[in-house]
Amino acid sequence: MSDTFTHPYIPNSDPVIQRWMMDSIGIEDIEELFACIPESLRFRGKMNLPEPLLSEAALRRRVMGRLNKNRTCEEALSFLGGGCWQHQVPAVCDEVNRRSEFLTAYAGEPYEDHGRFQALFEYESLMAELLETDVVNVPTNDGSQAAATALRMACRATGRDEVLVAGSTQPDRFRIVRNYLRPDIRVTRFGFDRTTGLLDLKDLKSKVSDKVAAVFFENPSFLGCVETQGREIAEAIHAAGGLLVVFADPSSLGVLTPPSRYGADLSCGDIQPLGIHMSFGGGRGGYIASADEERLVQEYPSRLFGIAPTEKGEWGFGDVAWERTSFAKRENGKEFVGTAAALWGITAGVYLALMGPKGMRELGEGIMQRARYLAALMDKIPGVAAPRLSAVPFKEFVVNFDGTGLSVKEINRRLLDRNIFGGQDLSADFPELGQSALYCTTEVHSKADLDRLASELASCLKG
């Protein structure tokens, strides 16, 4: 830096200190330390970056100036869901998530980061109670990565190279899974019923074979439907020697049976509903869960933190079966592992501890009731059909607008003028559903919010 200025983030940017340190090293100029970089590879230009904002005041003005251009889901009334959901984040989740000791830690050992190991073991354990499984991983980057990895795990465990994925799967999740399984695993879709939203068992059964490693579906599905045929699907794939992988929204599991109870060998999903802000889709974490069977445990690529005794009788923690990982074995380990979403895992643990069994049940019940109320209300609006699919919805349901003569795009534009974020437009990804949108409601909505949507929608459809 200049001779008169020291940057607050860089203590040794002070020229006098630098001189002293250079003398100690035995150099005249810091430039000498770059001697190993050939001149042809040196960047001698100036990076075209804004002039630095050196004071907090100037920085805050600039960054908040940008952020203040946003209109948030708290400032509007939002019915967006589809994989990222507006739930109440308990204040204690934020308090723990922002603790400096957790926020700025990284890769310490159990003897300096005991708290991190215990908190993540507890996260695994709390999720395990929700999922009724004995093994849960330290989170992956997001639910889609968890789904993709669960399917690769199933392929390795069975020695097979084809998976069947439900056609109603969230479209970008399907893309992520298919891309991750490329090039060695074949991904085949199976259908769903356009009337009920439930999976097409006939189509599925026609595709199950002794080459299929796993069947994958979401429950509730992307389209909001609670799948009721889990047991039958499990039996079909198990009979062929494959595994069942179910992607479950953890916010539903206070009221719905966890997938392990109807035959899922691997459960997976995203923990965002559990105390993690949406952050424009930037707050995510993926879980994978299974029984405590060595053949499955050894296929996890993720860190798995276990509990162990110490010489003085404390609760101790550490990595389980380390030799599975790419950290230990590089390309001979299971897939890869690295920085993912550990702090979100700790936060989700805080959430589950705060909610307890009663909270999770009330959450699920309240959401399902609101979804039913909202669908009924919207269905009364001329030209609007809700829910478009007859299966019982959880927090989302498809609303069809064909009878209005308007596109979802136009309706959402009109709702936005009334400060409402309408449901996700499905018309491009699911053209067979016509002009349909995916509406979502959670515990953040009051009856007045739902009533307001219905009345504004009715009014804006009139033009």
Partner 1 sequence: MKTNPKTEPRDFHQAKWDEPVIFELSTPGERGVLLPGTEPEIAALGNPWEDLPKELHRTSPPALPEMSQMRVLKHYLRLSQENLGADLNIDIGQGTCTMKYSPKINDQFATSPKLAELHPLQAPSTVQGTLEILYETEQFLKEISGLDRFCLHPGGGSQAILGIGSVIRNWVDANGMADRKDEIVTTIFSHPSNPAVAKIKGFKVITIYPDPVTGRPDMKAFMAAVNERTAALLITNPEDIGLYNPSIREMTDLVHSVGGLCSYDQANANGVLGIARAREAGFDLCFFNLHKTFSSPHGCGGPGSGVLGVQKHLVPFLPAPVVDVDDQGNYFLQYEGVDRENRIKDYYGVLPAIVRAYAWMLSLGDEGLREVARVSILNNNYIFRKILRIPGADAPFAAGEHRMEQVRYSWQGLKDATGCGVADVQNRIFDFGMHIWTSHEPWIVPEPFTIEPTESYSKDELDEYVAVLEQIVREAHENPDILKKAPHRSTIHHVDHDVLEDPKRWAITWRAYNRKYRGYFEAR
**Pick 184 or 432: Cβ nearer partner 1:** 184
Smallest separation (angstroms) from partner 1 to the CB of 238: 16
Residue 390 identity (one-letter amino acid): S
**Beta pairing partners, 268:** 247, 288
Residue 247 contacts residue 219 (beta carbons within 8 Å):
yes
- By DSSP bridging, strand 266-270 and strand 243-248 are parallel
Smallest separation (angstroms) from partner 1 to the CB of 214: 17
Query: d(Cα 199, Cα 223) in Å, to the nearest integer?
Result: 11
Residue 333 contacts residue 300 (beta carbons within 8 Å):
no
Length of the chain as a residue count: 463
SS3 200: coil
Tokens at 24, concatenated:
């100690």
**Pick 196 or 403: Cβ nearer partner 1:** 196
Tokens at 323, concatenated:
């030799």
**Pick 38 or 463: Cβ nearer partner 1:** 38
Smallest separation (angstroms) from partner 1 to the CB of 435: 17
**Pick 206 or 254: Cβ nearer partner 1:** 254
Angle, alpha carbons 332-338-340 (nearest 5°):
140
Smallest separation (angstroms) from partner 1 to the CB of 192: 17
**Pick 205 or 361: Cβ nearer partner 1:** 361
- CA-CA-CA-CA torsion sign (102, 105, 110, 111): negative
Smallest separation (angstroms) from partner 1 to the CB of 243: 19
**Pick 210 or 291: Cβ nearer partner 1:** 291
Smallest separation (angstroms) from partner 1 to the CB of 431: 17
Query: d(Cα 93, Cα 89) in Å, to the nearest integer?
Result: 7
Smallest separation (angstroms) from partner 1 to the CB of 306: 5
Rg (CA), the chain: 26
Tell me the CA distances in angstroms from 456 to 357, 381, 425, 450, one per residue in order.
37, 11, 18, 10
Smallest separation (angstroms) from partner 1 to the CB of 449: 11
**Burial track 393-432 (b if 16+ CB lie within 10 A, e otherwise):** bbbbbbbbbeebebbbeebbebbeebebbbbbbbeeebee
Tell me the CA distances in angstroms from 143 to 67, 86, 172, one per residue in order.
27, 16, 11
Smallest separation (angstroms) from partner 1 to the CB of 290: 10
**Pick 210 or 356: Cβ nearer partner 1:** 356
**Pick 242 or 393: Cβ nearer partner 1:** 393
**Pick 164 or 304: Cβ nearer partner 1:** 304
- CA-CA-CA-CA torsion sign (131, 133, 136, 142): negative
Query: d(Cα 355, Cα 254) in Å, to the nearest integer?
Result: 10
**Pick 110 or 403: Cβ nearer partner 1:** 110
Smallest separation (angstroms) from partner 1 to the CB of 105: 4
Smallest separation (angstroms) from partner 1 to the CB of 253: 7
Query: d(Cα 49, Cα 61) in Å, to the nearest integer?
Result: 17
Query: d(Cα 426, Cα 121) in Å, to the nearest integer?
Result: 39
Tokens at 421, concatenated:
């974020």
**Pick 176 or 201: Cβ nearer partner 1:** 176
